[in-house]
Amino acid sequence: MTKEYSIAVLPGDGIGREVMDAGLAVLQAVSPKIHRTFDARAHAAGAQHYQESGDALPEKTLAACRAADAILFGAMGLPHVRGADGTEIIPQLDIRFALDLYAGVRPIRTFAGLPIPLSDPRAAAIDLVLVRENTEGLFYSRGRSQQEGDEAVVDPMRISRAGTTRICDFAFRLAERRKSQGRPGHVTNVDKANVFHSMAFWRRIFEERASHFPDIESSSAYVDAMALNLVLKPWQYDVLVTENMFGDILSDLVAAMVGGMGMAPSGDIGDDYGLFQPAHGSAPDIAGKGIANPTAMILSVAMMLDWLADRTQDNALADGAQAIERAVARSFSSGAVIPFEFGGSSNTADITKAIIANL
């Protein structure tokens, strides 16, 4: 009997819906090849839904996410849809906190056949993972701001021992896995320990946790120096681990190193749940034009299968993840498929079809 997995699908806003269709098409195409089926059901959430109903993340949608084996997320948020405090409606943050998705995992790699923004030939070997703490740091201040009349707003930052320990351990375990696959096995901590007491505390905990993983090399860097080095020599990094806001910023920077956000998949992972999404936003300026690069969404589907394989000990799912990754690589290596964001003319449908053909 074919094994089935339930997937909660949250297409969201803008190009989220377009790239989600592409991701689901690839998922359904790989399904018979690994003899697994996927019950992927869509649920309402996002800025557009908020505008229509007053609720950005309905409780029944959150319940469906809790009940599913995994969650696929398109993109959410629209610049013109904002709450009373002036901030955007971004339910993806609400989901992270509600499901305790504390590890934001952002893998970045180059693909042969696509132009690379950096001229150094070593940039062709970029292959790193940024691990972002997702539930504390400066994002902890969301909903906790202290307003001093019309003169100032104070946003607190929280760094806890428990939160820092678990994200550092996650990064070291990921480095162990990558080392077993032939990668360097090195974790670089990114902080601002020279200025903030909270960051000095973060670094102390990182160094404590590093001693528990003697086979993995470790080092630390200040976030400003890391921003410099990620432009000058990103190929020298393996796993980066950092606070929430720093990770939010640096994950866009590393995506630029390989050509753009359309190549940047991600996973928000906790002990009990996993949500997988392209790292880009809803891009309302190109929504409906059919030119969005679906690669980040498709690679996020592969990440989901890999996570499910590890969680369920179902190796067929890992085979599916590898098949998708190889199909993406083949599709670009020929040079026949080049997304619009790389200066090419391949639209969403072209890229999706090529990847399915190469499965």
The pLDDT of residue 292? 96
The pLDDT of residue 1? 62
Please list the pLDDT of the chain residue by residue as tens digits (359 residues): 689 999 999 999 999 999 999 999 999 999 999 999 999 999 999 989 888 898 989 999 999 999 999 999 999 988 888 877 778 888 888 999 999 999 999 999 999 999 999 999 999 999 999 999 999 999 888 888 889 999 999 999 999 999 999 999 999 999 999 999 999 999 999 999 999 999 999 999 999 999 999 999 999 999 999 999 999 999 999 999 999 999 999 999 999 999 999 999 999 999 999 999 999 989 999 999 999 999 999 999 999 999 999 999 999 999 999 999 999 999 999 888 999 999 999 999 999 999 999 99
HSE of 282 in the Cβ direction (CA atoms, 13 Å)? 23
* 61-115 tens-digit pLDDT: 999 999 999 999 999 988 888 877 778 888 888 999 999 999 999 999 999 999 9
In a domain, 233, yes or no: yes
- The number of domains in the chain is 2
In a domain, 108, yes or no: no
Q: Are strands 127-133 and 103-109 parallel, antiparallel or unpaired?
A: antiparallel
**Beta carbons within 8 Å of 225's beta carbon, 6+ residues apart:** none
In a domain, 112, yes or no: no
CATH number at 194 reads 3.40.718.10
Boundary of a domain, candidates 193, 222, 257: 257
Residue 341: give the domain boundaries.
1-103+264-359
- Report how far residue 194's alpha carbon sits from residue 180's, in angstroms, rounded to the nearest whole number: 34
The pLDDT of residue 275? 98
The pLDDT of residue 206? 98
The pLDDT of residue 181? 94
Residues 251 and 127 occupy one common structural domain: yes
The pLDDT of residue 102? 98
In a domain, 110, yes or no: no
Strand ranges (E), the chain: 3-12, 36-42, 70-75, 103-109, 127-133, 146-148, 152-154, 186-191, 217-222, 239-242, 265-269, 274-278
- Count helices and strands in the chain by DSSP H and E runs: 11, 12
Boundary of a domain, candidates 203, 232, 257: 257
The pLDDT of residue 82? 86
In a domain, 52, yes or no: yes
The pLDDT of residue 81? 85
**Beta carbons within 8 Å of 152's beta carbon, 6+ residues apart:** none
Residues 86 and 131 occupy one common structural domain: no
Boundary of a domain, candidates 257, 292, 324: 257
Residues 75 and 193 occupy one common structural domain: no
Residues 309 and 346 occupy one common structural domain: yes
* 51-63 tens-digit pLDDT: 889 898 999 999 9
Residues 269 and 253 occupy one common structural domain: no
